[in-house]
Amino acid sequence: MSTPDRLVHIIDDDLAVRDSLRWLLEGEGLAARTYASAEEFLGAFRDDRPACAVVDLRMPGMSGLELQEALLRRHVMLPLVFVTAHGDVQLAVMAMRRGAVDFVEKPVADERLVAAVHRALTLHARPFPG
């Protein structure tokens, strides 16, 4: 099912990961935008359409958890799917308690990530004023 009206934000400091995830999600019919850092994402983000974000947990500068905190402070209820090469149960629990949809370890299993993104988009599928 193509859902170009919904957007997936991909936030990861690794260019190869960003490109790979964008290719995967666009292959599923989803619109995707990529950002090299949490700061870049926050500077560009507009809450004007159903969306979710796939966020690397550990990045230089603002981490994925710090991004989640910043969004919560701004009352932005953007569903987040965390990805990380460094699985840490304590961080996963913290992210999930703050409302993350899923916590996926790298290398990412395509089917699991796509399913998590679809769940996240369903959570944010409210109509936006045009």
11-20 tens-digit pLDDT: 999 999 999 9
| Placement of tokens 């099912």 in the chain | 1
Asked whether residue 128 carries a pLDDT value surpassing 50, the answer given is no
37-90 tens-digit pLDDT: 999 999 999 988 889 999 999 999 999 999 999 999 999 989 999 998 877 788
84-111 tens-digit pLDDT: 887 778 888 889 999 999 999 888 899 9
Indicate the pLDDT class of residue 6, thresholds 50, 70 and 90.
confident
Per-residue confidence (pLDDT) for residue 4, from 0 to 100: 60
Per-residue confidence (pLDDT) for residue 106, from 0 to 100: 86
Asked whether residue 125 carries a pLDDT value surpassing 70, the answer given is no
Per-residue confidence (pLDDT) for residue 73, from 0 to 100: 95
pTM for the complete prediction? 0.90
- The Cα–Cα gap between 88 and 63 comes to 14
Nearest to 9 by CA among 37, 45, 27, 33: 33
Residue 68 burial (10 A CB sphere; 0-12, 13-18, 19+): buried
Average confidence (pLDDT) over 110-124: 93
Cβ 56 vs Cβ 41: under 8 Å: no
